[in-house]
Structure 1
Amino acid sequence: MSTADRPGTTGTGTRPQPAERVRPPRKARPNGQWAVDGTTPLNENEAVKQQGPPLEVRERILSTYATGGFESIDPDDLHSRFRWWGLYTQRRQGIDGGRTAQLDISELEDHYFLQRIRLDGGSLNREQLRTIGGISNDFARGTADLTDRQNIQLHWVEIASVPEMWRRLESVGLTTIEGCGDTPRGFLVSPVAGIAKDEVIDPTPVAQAIRDTYLGDPELANLPRKFKTALTGSPTLDVLHEINDIALVGVRHPELGPGYDLWVGGALSTAPRLGQRLGAFVSQEDALDVWHGVIRIFRDYGYRRLRNKARLKFLMAEWGPQRFRQVLQEEYLGRTLPDGPPPEPPRGDSDHIGVHEQKDGLFWVGAKPPVGRLSGDVLLGLADLAGRLGSDRVRTTPSQNLLLLDVPSERVPEAVSGLRELGLEAQPGVFQRHTMACTGLEFCKFAIVETKRLAERVTAELDQRLADLGEAGPDRRITLTVNGCPNSCVRIQTADIGLKGQIITVDGEQVPGFQVHLGGGLATAGRPEAGLGRTVRGLKVPASDLTDYIERLVRRYLAQREDEESFSQWAHRADQEELQ
């Protein structure tokens, strides 16, 4: 990259000046677009990021805060720049969800941290598993959660422990850099990249190139908001490509061969929007440049005035895919991308649970940790199991699952039973398999209700009550997500049954409950197109009644469905009264 196209390394994020950029007319009120309005910060968050390179907080953590203790931490570092190294303060214990919106952040937060370990595709070897397991037991009270971004999160981390924790992680090739913050967050990669027999293209080289070239690049460390990446070559479409800022989806061009279809501008939260195809074909050789072009468009043209309007999806909503592609090609690539085909309709199980043969004749075994919850001991046990089986690879998935790779055929039964002994089920019930839950009230400062323990209990009860669902047909694809607040960290709008935590009033008493979204889903086998769920007007379900409500809803669906109608299809056509 030439110096004329680089914004400098001061951390202030000076915008680039491409030679042929055509500026649109200035609006009456600036949106904070660097390429239009200049770089003067329009809010406190933007000002903090320009006061000093956020990534440089690492040195203060190691040299000052770790020895000075929590009280020595500068508030701007604590509540902003710490995120660039994957650190968030966790929720103070004992504060109920009804007080979440009433208290200041200093009242909600504890002197302990959530530490996010970015995995960029979720691949871990035995040494890395043992390292994270040891860190969990030594510094995080044995906690470890899988996220729906293929990362691992630890809790109860003290600032004094961070230097040694980072030293251990980095000694085995792991990092926490840009685990959070206004950065290119850890990216999703197909969990079966390079091993699936039916893979269109292996995205591993592109993912590794992005990581090696741009991870920690100060020129991309001050974005308007977070930037999420997804890459897959699997025909199962297993990386949520419709709800990422950029997604490269494996396709076969009739003339150019295997490559990627380019999607841009997807995200959920409180204003969900599905990503859009640009209609461009991206070769393996062009993928790194295209990724770099899209993220720089976001950096230069993204809206920075209001944080709730700062995601790339809002720029895409204004520009549309045609203009976005034009800007990408003319201002950032300097060449035209060929048109390309869309992905084929998805086939196969995108969660990769169960036993599957790899293209090299070995097998992977996909297993479900209940609602993504692990522990230090489970990680250590998983490393030992892999060692006994002759495997050195474990991968995480966007469905909060784990895959044990490279298992010889004769050792598959041992792998399944060994995983079960660790609480990792390769043959989970229908609801356990398809349920996810966010961190919830236990640790999250934004949460309103408890999620993990509730979801684990409800799914166990549902699998017992609805055991007659069986494993065949669309009814096994009823997905359930339990979110502790409106931010949709586990994708409530794209689940068959999405639950958004709220405090509700029942018989004059305030209790934990949920607003209900029904009929959402991303592209999977049997559902070629993504769609957002519908909100059931006026329905608020107490947490204590969740099992009864979901059982009633599912049995109603089974009684009323037409032919092989999916739950989603039924939920969108059913009357509101039928969904109560």
Structure 2
Amino acid sequence: MYRYDEFDRAFVQERVAEFRDQVGRRLSGELTEDQFKPLRLMNGVYLQLHAYMLRIAIPYGTLSSRQLRQLAAIARDHDRGYGHFTTRQNLQFNWIALKDVPDILEKLAAVEMHAIQTSGNCIRNVTADHFAGAATDEIADPRPYAEILRQWSSLHPEFTFLPRKFKIAVTGSPHDRAAIQTHDIGLQVTRDTAGALGFVVYVGGGQGRTPMVARKIRDFLPERDLLAYCTAILRVYNLEGRRDNKYKARIKILVHESGEAAFRKAVEAEFAALRDEALDLPATERDRIATYFAPPPFAALPERSVVFERAIAADPDFARFASRNAHPHKVPSYAIVTVSLKPVGGPPGDATATQMEAVADIAAHYAFDEIRVSHEQNLVLPHVRRDDLPAVFAALRQAGLATPNAGLVTDIISCPGLDYCALATARSIPVAERISERFADLDRQHEIGDIKIKISGCINACGHHHVGHIGILGLERKGEEFYQITLGGSGDETCTIGEIVGPGFSSRRIVDAVETVIDTYLSLRTSPRENFLAAYRRLGEAPFREALYAAAE
């Protein structure tokens, strides 16, 4: 795990002191809200419906127990006792007082955390596969590259005021768990025919009011050219991206309007010029950063765990948890554990201070002191001995965190919606809670199988509804909330944008509509092995549209 060097420490402390002065001037009235707004956004502070919100960066979703305990302490001392984990591998506190923010930032700095570049038209938190360093299909750990990109992009003078916000994601596996094709730049680690490491490069993905799947502009980018090529992409965007209309200012619009071939040509020309400037990634620096992400000291254990097998046989609850929330690890005697933040009837992504402390304790004792935040709003323990899985399950159950629903119908992604967000047009959290209550029966969840439901409370799509197998978009119509359904979206390596299917549904009827979609799937699938997305792609929208319109009558 990366540790601050002297420059990092001084840089963050200086920013805290600077913002403390700015907050003091705002509270005294010396600064107006309009004058203060760009200053607070540079430090991750938003003004929401009811209070200020602070968004904290968790680079590539990796946390230590010490950091998670500090987040718990901040939640208890400065918020309402909980935090909200987001689809960008960040944490948000939604009920903070402005006067407390400098103290919060100082507490974050004490554990090597900050909120810099979690807002504004800059390069945001770099995200990565939450199974990084543990996945069985991994070509190389993507986190060293994500850390290099983080350091390169932090207060980069050329890219501090871009036409719009900019998001980068990195995956180290062919199976994409980082949704790279929904990002402004998506990088997939690969090898060429000689075995050298490099990247497949995608550009121009995004959601919001104009959802687009990123275009592949490079089949292979040599590892040493990572920074030069990303700089080339951003230079083209910074120079040619639209600044006259914020709704058309993202790089996806530039790629679309320029055309894929013309955009690639512009990037390649800029890249060729940058190569002459010797902007490369030296092997010595790459290796230095990689040492921070060296594998933990895995014990030499038998692949078969008798303890695990006996627990499976003796405890049906543990067996169910293990079947959904424990995933294969590249070291067969270990497992990756998803800690679900989706209890039945609870807000997706929320964790109380007590729960954060419990996860920190479990990680310290059983998982080499490491926690990940997934873009699916769950936590992950990446390295757990299979022998220890029963004990981890017992500890999670005691903390109310043992819901065995990873990847099932109640493992819902949801933005905060109109309960918090000033941009939202409808509530999303109550819809997620009611869907999870409707499908609370675990036998029914397992019968339905793998399915991803994603909910956004406005067209900005922070809940990623466009790439949900079932996506739900909340809108306002004549003063009332209503909801659109999209079907067939996916954020993995087969990335697709969902299609709008059926009429809009009221808040009262949207859960029934979701049930109609799922019942239609169950009646038409070829076997229990055919999951929802596969069935939808085989069948098309027609039977689902027909069922939804019939249900709306």
What is the TM-score when the length of structure 1 is the normalising length? 0.77
Counterpart secondary structure, 1:300: helix
CA gap 1:390/1:373 in 2 versus in 1, 3 angstroms: closer
> 1:278: which partner in 2?
217
| Residue type of the alignment partner of 1:502 | L
Q: Distance in 2 between matches of 1:357 and 1:129?
A: 25
> 1:80: which partner in 2?
38
1:357 CA drift (Å): 4.2
**Deviates further, 114-123 or 357-366:** 357-366
Residue 572 of structure 1, aligned match among 520, 541, 544: 541
Contact 1:368–1:433, Cα closer than 8 Å, also in 2 = no
Residue 450 of structure 2, aligned match among 466, 469, 477: 477
Counterpart secondary structure, 1:403: strand
Residue 66 of structure 1, aligned match among 14, 24, 27: 24
> 2:141: which partner in 1?
202
Contact 2:26–2:32, Cα closer than 8 Å, also in 1 = no
1:68 CA drift (Å): 5.2
CA gap 1:520/1:251 in 2 versus in 1, 3 angstroms: same
1:490 CA drift (Å): 1.2
| Residue type of the alignment partner of 2:338 | G
| Residue type of the alignment partner of 1:393 | E
Q: Does 1:548 align with 2:519?
A: no
Q: Distance in 2 between matches of 1:333 and 1:549?
A: 53
CA offset digits 1:371-405 (Å, max 9, x no partner): 11112222122112223325300001111111113
What is the aligned-residue identity percentage?
27
> 2:294: which partner in 1?
none
Where does structure 1 lack aligned partners over 5 or more consecutive residues?
1-55, 93-111, 337-351
Residue 398 of structure 2, aligned match among 417, 421, 426: 421
CA offset digits 1:117-142 (Å, max 9, x no partner): 11121100011001111111111121
Counterpart secondary structure, 1:374: strand
Contact 2:68–2:356, Cα closer than 8 Å, also in 1 = yes
Q: Distance in 1 between matches of 2:480 and 2:269?
A: 55
| Residue type of the alignment partner of 2:476 | I
CA gap 1:194/1:478 in 2 versus in 1, 3 angstroms: closer
Contact 1:518–1:571, Cα closer than 8 Å, also in 2 = no
CA gap 1:518/1:75 in 2 versus in 1, 3 angstroms: same
Contact 1:557–1:570, Cα closer than 8 Å, also in 2 = no
1:151 CA drift (Å): 0.8
> 2:334: which partner in 1?
362
What is the TM-score when the length of structure 2 is the normalising length? 0.81
1:181 CA drift (Å): 0.5
> 1:491: which partner in 2?
464
Counterpart secondary structure, 2:121: coil
Residue 514 of structure 1, aligned match among 483, 503, 522: 483
Residue 496 of structure 2, aligned match among 531, 534, 543: 531
> 2:285: which partner in 1?
none
> 2:153: which partner in 1?
214
Q: Distance in 2 between matches of 1:234 and 1:196?
A: 8
Q: Distance in 1 between matches of 2:484 and 2:469?
A: 14
CA offset digits 1:193-252 (Å, max 9, x no partner): 222232112212211111223212232210000001010012321111111000111223
Q: What is the correspondence of 1:33-432 to structure 2 with a 5 Å cutoff? A: 61-66=19-24, 69=27, 71-92=29-50, 112-334=51-273, 354-360=325-331, 361-370=333-342, 371-389=348-366, 391-425=368-402, 427-428=404-405, 431-432=408-409
CA offset digits 1:392-420 (Å, max 9, x no partner): 00001111111113322221111122223
CA gap 1:357/1:77 in 2 versus in 1, 3 angstroms: farther
Counterpart secondary structure, 2:504: strand
Residue 440 of structure 2, aligned match among 453, 457, 463: 463
| Residue type of the alignment partner of 1:354 | N
Counterpart secondary structure, 2:336: strand
Q: Distance in 2 between matches of 1:133 and 1:353?
A: 27
Contact 1:518–1:533, Cα closer than 8 Å, also in 2 = yes
Contact 1:206–1:284, Cα closer than 8 Å, also in 2 = no
CA gap 1:70/1:245 in 2 versus in 1, 3 angstroms: farther
Counterpart secondary structure, 2:216: strand
Counterpart secondary structure, 1:249: strand
Contact 1:227–1:245, Cα closer than 8 Å, also in 2 = yes
CA gap 1:497/1:65 in 2 versus in 1, 3 angstroms: same
CA gap 1:207/1:57 in 2 versus in 1, 3 angstroms: closer
Contact 1:81–1:181, Cα closer than 8 Å, also in 2 = no
Counterpart secondary structure, 1:202: coil
Contact 1:115–1:153, Cα closer than 8 Å, also in 2 = yes
CA RMSD in angstroms comes to 2.6
Q: Distance in 1 between matches of 2:212 and 2:244?
A: 20
Contact 2:341–2:377, Cα closer than 8 Å, also in 1 = yes
Counterpart secondary structure, 1:460: helix
CA gap 1:238/1:436 in 2 versus in 1, 3 angstroms: same
